[in-house]
Amino acid sequence: MLRRAFCGQSHFIARTCSTPRYKSIQPTNQQEPTNRHLSLDAEGKTVVDLTFVSEALGLPAAAGYGWAQFEFGDLVGDDQRYTILRKLGWGMHSSTWLARDKVRNGFVAIKAQTGHMTEMNEKNMYWEPDATRLVSHPPSSPHCVELLDEFTIPGRGLAGSHLCFVLPVYGGDVKSLAKSRTAPFELPTAKRIILHLLRGLAHAHSRHVVHTDLKHDNIFFSTERETTDIEQCMEADPSRRHPPEMSQDGIVQAAVSQPLPMISDELARRATYLLADFGCALPSKLHDDRTITTAPLRAPESFLGGKWDKPADIWSFGCLIFELAVSRSLFKYAVNDKFNLTEVENMLYQMLLFSNDDHFGAAQLSIWPLASQYFSATCRLKKDPDVVQWPLEVRIGENKAIPSTDVSALAALMHRCLRLNPDDRATAEDLLQDPWLNGADD
């Protein structure tokens, strides 16, 4: 399976080497599906490409897919408690739907896992349900996603079953919020996001949950919209579907993703931000070599094949402090042509540049299995690039939007997170007392 993104819209291309059998299912309108393309491979065999404008409905759970196919008005959950109203969005392992809860007489969000991930959960190979339950167990935190209910429903055709989480309706995520703006976050707003994210992280760590995927997409914010406001949004922008598409399970018609309207700058300044999406979370312990986190936010122990735990989250948080405050990435995961460094070598090189005289020690490198590929016996990078200190204060100060009175304090907070030895990093609980965060809730 290949995934391509064009102009901000996701297109899936699923490929098989023989023409699949299609059920005779009539589309819901008269449009003829045009997403099926035939070609020949190098051996002259017929190749079928299926392109999808949204999530790839109608592909089997057994092959790693199985997105939920809801109709608007479907009744789901115990006693058919929830009525599906529209799709809010989707990701690689789930789709999220707005629903009305007849018991609470209000709106909720239902996150439906793909059939593949539901199977993984049944085999105890997927920890998101346990992690979400742990962080939701009383006393919960307003800065972590809250699980209100859960149930499993049968899917359609090849999709398998769907484990569904019932969550509050949130306003959106910080990545979408940043994209909706014409300028970077004002520092008070950035500081508020940073503090609330840290509170959520501290709560998750207190429940022995390592998130492993901190990023803008996984920071949600609250909404002040009442039930009547959401009803008005739906009347102004009714739920819609994309044109019919061919699939391995017949003709399908994906719902259009229609998130709630983005909040204003004023509301962003007073919103509650929270840590969400525990799809990559794992229980706290020293985990063996396993790649975690998007590369620019990844801790050195993960790059070097070492064991990792909560400090890996702290490293990612330190990188996010810079991204949220400065609206730029601290690390660039790319080849360094000047010193002939690969992407990984360049990441390690940048870590040394911003280390404030911190260094990788021999004892530390000796227990990281991949360290010998990159470091010499003297703990220097084997390609020996010229390492000149590039203080974080300078990196932060390059952005003239950060007041000079904040630069040193902000750099000091980041240094507490970005220690090369994970044992030297501060805990989330300790970081909550950092003086730079004072007044962030004002």
Which residues does the annotation place in the binding site?
A: 111
The stretches of 137-179 forming alpha helices (DSSP H) are 174-179
Tell me if 58 sits within 8 A of 12, measured CB to CB.
Answer: no
Identify which of 261, 268, 259 has the alpha carbon closest to the alpha carbon of residue 187.
268
Residue 196 CB neighbour total at 10 angstroms? 23
CA atoms of 105 and 82, how far apart (whole Å): 10
Tell me if 283 sits within 8 A of 209, measured CB to CB.
Answer: yes
CA atoms of 89 and 54, how far apart (whole Å): 9
Q: Which two tokens stand for residue 78?
A: 């115990």
CA atoms of 431 and 161, how far apart (whole Å): 42
Tell me if 190 sits within 8 A of 324, measured CB to CB.
Answer: yes
Which residues are CB-contacts of 232 (< 8 A; sequence separation ≥ 6)? Answer: none
Strands 250-252 and 161-167: unpaired
CA atoms of 332 and 327, how far apart (whole Å): 14
Binding residues for ATP: 111
Identify which of 81, 68, 250, 92 has the alpha carbon closest to the alpha carbon of residue 154.
68
CA atoms of 121 and 401, how far apart (whole Å): 46
CA atoms of 105 and 223, how far apart (whole Å): 17
Give residue 402's identity as a one-letter amino acid code.
I
Tell me if 373 sits within 8 A of 399, measured CB to CB.
Answer: no
